[in-house]
Structure 1
Amino acid sequence: MPYTTLISATDLAKNIRDTNWVVLDCRHDLANPDAGRSAYAAGHIPGAQFADVETDLSDKSPGPHGEFRGRHPLPERNAFTETLRRWGVTHSSQVVAYDAHGGMFAARLWWMLRWIGHESAAVLDGGLQAWQALGLPLSTEPATRPRGNVEPHSSRMLTVSAGEVLTNLSNPTRTVIDARAPDRFRGENETLDPVGGHIPGAINRFFKNNLQEDGRFKPADQLRSEFSALVTVPQATIMQCGSGVTACHNLLAMEVAGLSGAVLYPGSWSEWCADPAHPVATGS
């Protein structure tokens, strides 16, 4: 059976030499875009390739009318598929994404794989720390693979636009959940959010609340209980964050909990607050 949400370091180690498995290192630092690639060069899981959040998992070109689409807009589906082929992903590949940040960046790659219809995608539970805690080795050798042939399929992961979020304010049929840290949600972090605050009516669910103290995800039943207190209908839930990255962590947590169907607002706060016509709320 494929892994479709999380995978343990033990199970990854058992399959690390399987040529049908593709491992991708998603380490990143929002304040230092070069940090992830430097960390990869210093030591990564053997056979892993580097997935750059800024270039491989985003396309920062403006929208069709020159509009700003946020700090990490999604690439076109076909362009992302081409990136996956470069990494050697085939239609039957088991893809495993990891980082060293509780899955906050690896979850973005997991979501994007599901977005193009590739179901066999999982995040390493506990990240690189879980791998190292088992005494497993790291490599400094860059990894390459033969070109893959993956094709995009029907997507189970849907998105909404800023316009749809705006419409929801006047006709609130969906719950908006913001994955940013509480200080950013309240509008108190000018470093990451020069325009502070949140979408009116949004609920704050910091992505780190999905994790246990050891950095692994909470058990499914605990996540189900916590999200059920916020969400009545998963399919009527919009996930957002600063730029559509950490929102995917909440989407993964809901999938682990068996609460499928929430959608992503890719532009998130960075796109929303760039338009002065959009209303902004501050505080708790």
Structure 2
Amino acid sequence: MAYETLITVDALRDMLAAGENVLVFDCEFELGNPDKGPEIYAKGHIPGARYAHLDEDLASPPDGSNGRHPLPARVAIVAWLRAQGLRKGQQVVAYDSNGGAWAARLWWLLRWLGHAPVAVLDGGKPAWVEAGLPLDHGLSPGATSGDFEPGEPLVPEPVSAAKVLGNIAQPTAQVLDARDPARFAGTPNPLDPVAGHIPGARNRFFRDNLDAAGHFRPAAELAADFSALLGNAPAILQCGSGVTACHNALAMAVAGLPVGQLYPGSWSEWIADPGRPVATGAE
């Protein structure tokens, strides 16, 4: 059985115990402290998991105008995935300890590259530990050679700032902002040199996709939430830097809804041009 959205701790445990062909990635990360994720990984990770660094592996270097976490070049991310041993059709599982906030970025990237069997571990490492399952320690396994080849994207192609700007004057899609409500409303925050949101955007905080235990809420609940925000409009998904927006993309897939288009540059790219409009307030 292939998993394409979420996978439970029990299912992953059984796959690993049976020696099935699954490639696991630990996506731990901490904004503002890029060394913290590798430290957390080294102190304890799911056995056999490789480490995926948000800044170094799942993004390309920012240039000051393209946001904090620009998409990696396709050739670069494909080469990295092959170096991690990814094979054609192999099941991939991504996890973190932050409700899937970082793991969803790897999920989206692999879907963008046409790789269908990729899932986020529901509940992440906390659920694994709560189940009494073991952790490994130390560094990521050495590089191996995979035969992964990219295919046709399984998510809509990302959109540019120009398209988002044009959508303000002639709206054809609804922008959903995955940042927390305070940042969306315009409360000053160290991550945002300019506070506020894209005019016309609506707030869908990514943590609203989760229940109190950090698991994704039922599909029917998610579908109702997104439908209430979108109506009949397609979605453009953004956040601070195109990362937690992928969590909303995953939640839409879990809900059985068409996945929205990612705006990778998101707020950090948007505000790099002072000519782009900014709105404040809860709506």
- CA pair 162-60 structure 1, distance change in 2 beyond 3 A: same
Selected match of 2:131 from 130, 134, 139: 134
Distance 2:277 2:62 in 1: 25
Moved more, 20-29 or 139-148: 139-148
Instruction: Name the amino acid aligned to 1:75.
Output: P
> In 1, Cα distance between the equivalents of 2:230 and 2:199?
17
Alpha-carbon distance in 1 for matches of 2:86, 2:4: 15
With structure 2 as the length reference, what TM-score do the two structures score?
0.96
In the alignment, the residues of structure 1 paired with residue 67 and residue 272 of structure 2 have an alpha-carbon distance, to the nearest angstrom, of 8
AA aligned opposite 1:283: G
Tell me the C-alpha RMSD between the 2 structures. 1.2
Give 1:113's aligned residue.
110
Shift of 1:124: 0.3
The CA distance in 2 between the partners of 1:264 and 1:92, in whole Å, is 24
Give the aligned length. 279
Give the Cα separation in 2 of the matches to 1:176 and 1:45: 36
> Structure 1: which amino acid aligns with 2:231?
T
Q: Distance in 2 between matches of 1:261 and 1:7?
A: 19
CA positional deviation for 1:260: 1.7
Instruction: Tell me the TM-score normalised to structure 1 length.
Output: 0.96
Q: Which residue of 1 aligns with 2:23?
A: 22
Higher alpha-carbon deviation: 114-123 or 182-191: 182-191
Give the Cα–Cα distance (whole angstroms) in 2 for the partners of residues 89 and 129 of structure 1.
25
Distance 1:47 1:145, change over 3 A: farther
Q: For residue 254 of structure 1, what is the amino acid of its counterpart?
A: M
Aligned pair partner of 1:99 in 82, 88, 96: 96
Gaps of 5+ in 1: none
2:72 pairs, out of 75, 81, 88, with: 75
Query: Higher mean Cα deviation, 152-161 or 45-54?
Result: 152-161
- Give SS of 1:152's match: coil
What's the offset of the Cα at 1:145? 5.5
Match of 1:156 in 2: 154
Whole-angstrom distance in 2 between the partners of 1:233 and 1:79: 36
Are 1:249 and 2:255 counterparts?
no
Rounded Cα–Cα distance in structure 1 between residues aligned with 2:175 and 2:73: 24
Matched-pair identity in %: 53
Distance across 2 between alignment mates of 1:29 and 1:83: 21
Q: Which stretches in structure 2 are left out of the alignment for 5+ residues?
A: none
List structure 1 runs of 4+ shifted beyond 3 angstroms.
Answer: none
- Per the alignment, residue 272 of structure 1 pairs with 270
Candidates 84, 87, 97, aligned match of 2:84: 87
